[in-house]
Chain A
Amino acid sequence: MRVREVGERALLVEFGGGEEARAFHAEVLRRRAAGALPAVREVVPAARTVLLDGVDEPRALAARIAGWRPEPLHARVEPVVEVPVRYDGPDVAEVAAVWGVAPGEVGRVHAAGEYRVAFCGFAPGFGYLTGLPERYEVPRRATPRTAVPAGSVALAGPYTGVYPRSSPGGWQIVGTTDAVLWDPGREPAALLTPGARVRFVREGV
């Protein structure tokens, strides 16, 4: 773990891998809920870092963090968010070719495992989900689409993402969901929040 100061009011806590970053993020949330953390305006997990922004005394907090021993994630049992998917995306054939499977197998492979929301970004409610085995990673499209429809389930590198609303995008689209990814009237507004466990459920099979 390495703690870097970011400007005058933030800390970037960096780890060797995503697992440790997720465990640390869970520890931050646990301590915050218990009232055992000084005021932090934003807690932003990412690939292997957690940003603590809007901190009054970052150096004092950095010193405290050094003594934390986050509990491993597997000790915690959380509910699973289920996302129903029709695996009928425009890039299914291309993804199948990269994987060396029949196009009809793409959904079975993708829906087989459990995913976790590593972090959000790009757009409100857009989660970067890890859990796809390394051998199934696919590159981004050479030319991004100018409009990817809302509900598109797409792959890029180690990540799976679901577009909360129509936007430009360069990920490989393998399916579509009717799940509401983003609703500002809901608490939380995002269906997929950092740390959440996710399962994709094949529809129409």
Chain B
Amino acid sequence: MTDRAFAVVRAGALTTVQDRGRFGHAHLGVPRSGALDPGAAGLANRLVGNSVGAAVLETTLTGCAVRPRCAVTVAVGGAPCPVTVDGRPAAWGAAVRVPAGAVLEVGAAVRGVRSYVAFAGGVAVEPVLGSRSTDLLSGLGPEPLADGAVLPLGRPGAGVPVCDGVPWAGVAGEVVLRVRLGPRDDWFTGRALRTLTTGAYRVSAASNRIGLRTEGPALERAVAGELPSEGMVLGAVQVPPDGRPVVFLADHPTTGGYPVVAVVRERDLARAAQAVPGTRVRFVVAG
């Protein structure tokens, strides 16, 4: 292992390597994966002079701690959290120099769910099918971080940081998800479609990178029986037999047999991924 690497001191609840995702293999059953809040991951990359698609760490609620073996510029973005270097407070949302051997501590999210840690040069694990992303559905890409693991870093390019501060939209008390109905809205009753847009839904604690699960009123089917498996898209609102909508996120399966009542706009999904369990969710039909 070269000096361009970091050791994992504290892996946190779930920390994975993510880039823009793994495209072009859905027909072989390969999920797209990639950062759940790609805007935040891209901004963190830009703060350290990387291209927006460089691989970063994505934490979940409890942050993580790493010890780079070489001096490296990092930036923490996404869900706001305390950041320290060898115990001394450092900036969130800005480039931070971490000396060789120092511990970068990314604390628990103060708001939101997922923080992003970008390193100048990017996390340089071996790509699989064109992506370094961890895919939790099918196990492609690197394992989630484990205490004591060592991950390689890439060489910083000539890129200079193109911004020096990160605005963050924050997480409102309610997540509004704009949807377009279909392709299987005709499998549900008119009442179910009204319930989808008026029901009091909340983010379930069973949510993960595969899907945002909801708690709330069940959607009643108009068509009984089974739908033959069909291709699934990011943002699909799939309705399993219990009637509670599930919004498909980056690690979603590529085919599925439960009807999709609507599809959430891609740009609204980052907010869905940053919503802590219990947050209210409102589905709004947008033309």
**Do residues A10 and B233 form an inter-chain contact, with CB atoms below 8 A?**
yes
**Most chain B CB inside 10 Å of its own CB: which residue of A4, A7, A41, A45:** A7
Binds B, one of A73-81, A139-147, A188-196: A188-196
Q: How far is the CB of B142 from chain A (nearest CB, A)?
A: 13
Query: In the docked arrangement, what's the CA distance between A46 and B8, Å?
Result: 41
Binds A, one of B27-35, B78-86, B165-173: B27-35
**Do residues B260 and A47 form an inter-chain contact, with CB atoms below 8 A?**
no
Q: List 14 A-B contacts (CB under 8 A).
A: A6-B260, A7-B266, A8-B180, A8-B265, A42-B23, A42-B231, A43-B27, A47-B228, A49-B231, A50-B231, A54-B23, A119-B27, A128-B229, A189-B129
B241 is an interface residue with CB less than 8 A from chain A: no
Interface footprint category on A: 35 or more
**Do residues B29 and A126 form an inter-chain contact, with CB atoms below 8 A?**
yes
Query: In the docked arrangement, what's the CA distance between A44 and B254, Å?
Result: 8
Q: List the 5 closest A-B pairs by CB distance, nearest first.
A: A51-B231, A7-B263, A121-B255, A44-B231, A47-B228
List 7 additional contacts besides A7-B180, A41-B24; criterion CB under 8 Å.
A50-B231, A51-B233, A120-B27, A120-B28, A124-B28, A189-B129, A190-B29
Q: Knowing A12-B183, A42-B24, A47-B230 touch, does A121 contact B253 (C-beta < 8 A)?
A: yes
User: Which residues does chain B contribute within 8 Å of A47, judged by CB atoms?
Assistant: 228-230
Q: Knowing A41-B24, A120-B29, A123-B29 touch, does A8 contact B254 (C-beta < 8 A)?
A: no
User: Which residues does chain A contribute within 8 Å of B182, judged by CB atoms?
Assistant: 4-6
Inter-chain contact count A-B, CB under 8 Å?
111
Chain A 141-163, CB-CB to B under 8 Å as 1, else 0, gives 00000000000000000000000
Contact of B128 among A4, A41, A126, A184 (CB under 8 A): A184
Query: In the docked arrangement, what's the CA distance between A194 and B26, Å?
Result: 11
Q: Knowing A6-B183, A48-B228 touch, does A188 contact B265 (C-beta < 8 A)?
A: no
Query: In the docked arrangement, what's the CA distance between A90 and B27, Å?
Result: 30
Chain A 39-63, CB-CB to B under 8 Å as 1, else 0, gives 0011111111111011000000000
A107 is an interface residue with CB less than 8 A from chain B: no
A125 is an interface residue with CB less than 8 A from chain B: yes
